[in-house]
C-alpha cells in the first residue's frame, strides 16, 4: 500500500516564502513612492511661495545722477530724429521725449500677467515652462549705428563733413535717463554736434534724454573727415549708451562699433580695385574676403595686393602666392596681369570672439600695378566687417524674478538660494530611491529562487509503505 507524501516541512517553507515576497514588494513600492512625495510636496510649496512676493516691491530713492561719468557734462541732449527718415519735421526739437507718443509700447503688463500654476504635480508643468517668454528687465537700453560712408567727392576736397546716425531704444519697462558717448578714430573730429562736448582722446560725451519704456529714437552726429585720413585706413569708431532708471540700482549699457568706409582711390588711371564685405555668422564662420584687381591700362603690369585687418581679425591660412607680413597684414603677389584683365583673389578670414562683439569694423585693401614701362600705380579702399555675435550680445543681465515663474523657476530659487535646503532634499530623495531599488531587487531575487526550487523539487511524491 502506498501513501501520498505531503511533506509538511516543505509546505511550511512555501507558506513562509509567499508572505516574504509580498512584504518585500509592498516595502519596495512604499519606499519608491516616498521620493515622489518628498519632491512633489516642496515643489507645490515652491509654486505658491513666489506668487506672494511681487505684491510688495519697495523702490529705493530715485537717483537722478550718473556716478560713472566724472567731469563736466553737457546740459542738453543732442537733437533727435525719428528712426525712419520719412518725417522731415522731427528735427526741430532737441528733446527725445517728443517721440514718446509715437512709440508708446510699454510691455509691463505682458510679463507680470502670467497664469498662476494650478497643477499640483511637477511633470505636467515642466513642458510648458520653456514656452514662456522671460520678463523684460526693469532698465534696459540698446544702440545701433550706421557707418560713415564716403563718396568719390572725398578725393577732391580738403575735408568732408558727414553725419553718423545712431539709433537708441529703451528696452526696459520703466522710464529711464539715457546718456550717449562716442569715440572717433584719428583723422576724424566732431563738426559741432549740439549737446555733445569733447572729453579727450577722441571721446565725446553728450547730455541725457528722458525716455519712456519702448521708445526708439535716432540722433545724427556731425563728423568731419580730414583729407588725409585715408592714409590711416582702416578706421573704426564706437558708440556707447548708458541708462539709469528710478528705483533700479546701478546702470545698464550697450555699445556698437561703426566703420569708416573710403571709396577706391586716390583716383589713378589704369587701375581698378574692388573688395566685398566680410561677415561672420553666429558660429564664428566667415564668408571670406573677395578682392578684384583690374588692369585698365594699355600695358601688362605686375600685380600686388596687401590686406590690412583690425586687431583680432587675421588671415589664418594664406593661399598660394600670399605671405603673412604680421598678424594684421597679408601680402599677395598676383604675377603678370595683362592689359584689360582682372585678377580675383579670395582670402579666408577669422576673428576672435571679442573682435566679433566689437563689429562693425573696417579693413583695408591696398593694390599696386608695376607696368613694364611707366610709373607704378597704387590705389586702396576699405571694406566692412560685420558679425552676428555683435547683435546677439545681451544688453543687460536678466534680473532676478520677482513673481511666480512656474515650477522650474521656483525650484531654481530654492535650490540655489536657501542655504542648501533644496540640495539636501534632492540627496535624501536619491538615497531613498537607491534603497527602494535594492529592496525590490532583493524581493524579486527571493521570489525567483523560490520558483526555481519549486520547479526542480516537486511538492508531492509517492513513497512505499513502511514494512511492518
Q: Is residue 118 part of a domain?
A: no
Q: Say which CATH number the domain at 246 has.
A: 2.60.40.1510
Helix (H) or strand (E) holding 444: helix 421-456
> Is 232 found in the same domain as 313?
no
**Percent residues over pLDDT 90 in the chain:** 41
Q: How many CB atoms lie within 10 A of CB 78?
A: 20
- Which residues form the domain of 275? 264-388
SS3 of the chain: helix, strand, coil, percent, to 5: 30, 35, 40
Residue pair 381/275 in contact (Cβ under 8 Å)? The answer is: yes
> 49 has which bridge partners?
none
pLDDT greater than 70 at residue 193: yes
Q: Is residue 376 part of a domain?
A: yes
| CA pair distance 167, 144, nearest whole angstrom | 5
> Is 268 found in the same domain as 256?
no
Instruction: Locate 391 and state its grid cell.
Output: 547683435
The runs of H, that is alpha helices, within 161-279 are: none
> Is 177 found in the same domain as 273?
no
Number of domains in the chain: 2
Cell 516616498 belongs to which residue?
Answer: 34
| CA pair distance 157, 180, nearest whole angstrom | 30
> Is 233 found in the same domain as 352?
no
Considering only CA atoms, which of 420, 402, 369, 442 is closest in space to residue 138?
A: 402
| CA pair distance 363, 459, nearest whole angstrom | 93
Provide the 3-class DSSP secondary structure of residue 303: strand
Query: How many angstroms separate the Cα of 191 from the Cα of each of 26, 110, 142, 234, 312?
Result: 86, 43, 25, 21, 30
| CA pair distance 383, 288, nearest whole angstrom | 12
> Is 142 found in the same domain as 280?
no
pLDDT in tens, 209-254: 998 999 999 999 999 999 999 999 999 999 999 999 888 888 899 9
CA angle 282, 82, 174 (to 5 degrees): 75
pLDDT the model gives residue 186: 92
> Is 277 found in the same domain as 243?
no
Residue pair 307/364 in contact (Cβ under 8 Å)? The answer is: yes
Q: Is residue 454 part of a domain?
A: no
CA angle 307, 311, 313 (to 5 degrees): 60
Q: Is residue 296 part of a domain?
A: yes
What's the sign of the alpha-carbon dihedral 366, 370, 374, 375?
A: positive
Confidence bin at 189 (pLDDT 50/70/90):
very high
Provide the 3-class DSSP secondary structure of residue 73: coil
> Is 247 found in the same domain as 278?
no
What's the sign of the alpha-carbon dihedral 178, 179, 183, 189?
A: positive
| CA pair distance 166, 178, nearest whole angstrom | 13
Instruction: Locate 160 and state its grid cell.
Output: 568732408
Q: Is residue 433 part of a domain?
A: no
Helix (H) or strand (E) holding 390: helix 388-392
Q: Is residue 35 part of a domain?
A: no
Query: Which of 322, 356, 388 is the endpoint of a domain?
Result: 388
Residue pair 154/380 in contact (Cβ under 8 Å)? The answer is: no
> Is 285 found in the same domain as 202?
no
pLDDT the model gives residue 45: 41
Q: Is residue 426 part of a domain?
A: no
Query: Which of 388, 407, 423 is the endpoint of a domain?
Result: 388
* Cα 174 to chain centroid, rounded: 23
pLDDT the model gives residue 31: 52
In DSSP notation, 328-353 reads: TEEEEEEEEE-TT-EEEEEE--EE-H
In DSSP notation, 92-146 reads: S---GGGGGGG-----SHHHH-PPPP---SHHHHGGGTTTSPPPPPSS-EEEEE-
> Is 153 found in the same domain as 218?
yes
Q: Say which CATH number the domain at 352 has.
A: 2.60.40.1530
Q: Is residue 233 part of a domain?
A: yes
Query: Which of 388, 418, 440 is the endpoint of a domain?
Result: 388
> Is 235 found in the same domain as 88?
yes
pLDDT the model gives residue 139: 83
> Is 225 found in the same domain as 282?
no
Provide the 3-class DSSP secondary structure of residue 13: helix
Average pLDDT over residues 22-39: 55
Considering the entire predicted model, what is its pTM? 0.57
- Lowest-confidence pick of 71-85, 94-108, 228-242: 94-108
User: Taking the chain, what is the end-to-end CA distance rounded to the nearest angstrom?
Assistant: 12
Confidence bin at 60 (pLDDT 50/70/90):
very low
> Is 353 found in the same domain as 259?
no
pLDDT in tens, 149-161: 999 999 999 999 9
Amino acid at each position: 500500500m502506498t501513501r501520498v507524501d505531503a511533506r509538511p516541512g516543505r509546505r511550511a517553507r512555501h507558506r513562509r516564502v509567499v508572505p516574504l515576497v509580498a512584504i518585500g514588494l509592498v516595502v519596495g513600492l512604499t519606499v519608491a513612492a516616498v521620493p515622489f512625495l518628498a519632491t512633489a510636496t516642496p515643489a507645490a510649496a515652491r509654486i505658491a511661495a513666489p506668487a506672494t512676493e511681487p505684491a510688495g516691491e519697495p523702490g529705493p530713492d530715485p537717483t537722478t545722477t550718473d556716478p560713472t561719468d566724472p567731469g563736466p557734462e553737457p546740459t542738453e541732449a543732442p537733437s533727435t530724429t525719428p528712426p525712419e527718415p520719412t518725417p522731415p519735421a522731427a528735427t526741430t526739437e532737441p528733446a527725445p521725449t517728443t517721440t514718446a507718443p509715437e512709440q508708446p509700447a510699454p510691455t509691463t503688463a505682458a510679463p507680470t500677467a502670467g497664469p498662476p500654476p494650478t497643477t499640483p504635480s511637477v511633470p505636467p508643468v515642466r513642458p510648458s515652462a520653456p514656452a514662456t517668454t522671460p520678463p523684460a528687465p526693469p532698465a534696459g537700453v540698446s544702440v545701433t549705428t550706421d557707418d560713415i560712408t564716403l563718396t568719390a567727392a572725398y578725393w577732391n576736397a580738403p575735408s568732408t563733413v558727414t553725419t553718423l546716425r545712431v539709433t537708441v531704444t529703451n528696452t526696459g519697462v520703466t522710464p529711464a535717463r539715457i546718456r550717449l558717448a562716442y569715440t572717433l578714430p584719428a583723422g576724424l573730429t566732431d563738426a559741432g554736434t549740439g549737446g555733445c562736448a569733447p572729453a579727450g582722446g577722441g571721446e565725446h560725451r553728450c547730455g541725457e534724454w528722458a525716455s519712456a519704456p519702448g521708445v526708439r529714437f535716432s540722433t545724427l552726429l556731425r563728423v568731419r573727415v580730414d583729407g588725409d585720413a585715408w592714409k590711416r585706413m582702416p578706421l573704426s569708431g564706437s558708440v556707447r549708451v548708458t541708462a539709469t532708471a528710478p528705483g533700479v540700482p546701478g546702470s545698464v549699457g550697450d555699445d556698437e562699433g561703426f566703420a569708416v568706409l573710403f571709396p577706391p582711390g586716390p583716383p589713378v588711371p589704369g587701375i581698378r580695385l574692388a573688395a566685398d564685405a566680410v561677415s561672420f555668422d553666429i558660429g564664428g564662420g566667415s564668408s571670406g574676403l573677395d578682392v578684384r584687381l583690374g588692369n585698365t591700362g594699355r600695358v601688362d603690369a605686375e600685380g600686388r595686393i596687401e590686406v590690412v585687418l583690425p586687431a583680432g581679425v587675421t588671415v589664418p591660412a594664406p593661399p598660394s602666392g600670399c605671405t603673412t607680413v604680421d598678424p594684421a597684414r597679408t601680402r599677395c603677389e598676383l604675377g603678370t596681369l595683362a592689359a584689360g584683365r582682372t585678377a580675383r583673389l579670395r582670402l579666408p578670414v577669422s576673428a576672435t570672439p571679442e573682435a566679433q562683439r566689437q563689429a562693425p569694423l573696417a579693413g583695408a585693401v591696398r593694390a599696386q600695378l608695376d607696368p613694364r614701362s611707366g610709373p607704378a600705380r597704387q590705389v586702396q579702399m576699405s571694406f566692412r566687417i560685420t558679425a552676428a555675435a555683435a547683435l546677439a550680445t545681451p544688453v543687460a543681465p536678466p534680473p532676478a524674478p520677482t513673481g511666480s515663474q512656474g515650477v522650474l523657476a521656483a525650484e531654481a530659487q530654492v535650490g540655489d538660494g536657501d542655504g542648501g535646503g533644496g540640495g539636501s532634499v534632492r540627496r535624501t530623495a536619491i538615497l531613498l530611491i537607491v534603497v527602494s531599488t535594492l529592496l525590490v531587487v532583493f524581493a524579486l531575487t527571493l521570489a525567483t529562487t523560490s520558483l526555481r526550487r519549486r520547479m526542480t523539487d516537486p511538492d508531492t511524491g509517492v513513497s512505499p509503505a513502511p514494512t511492518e
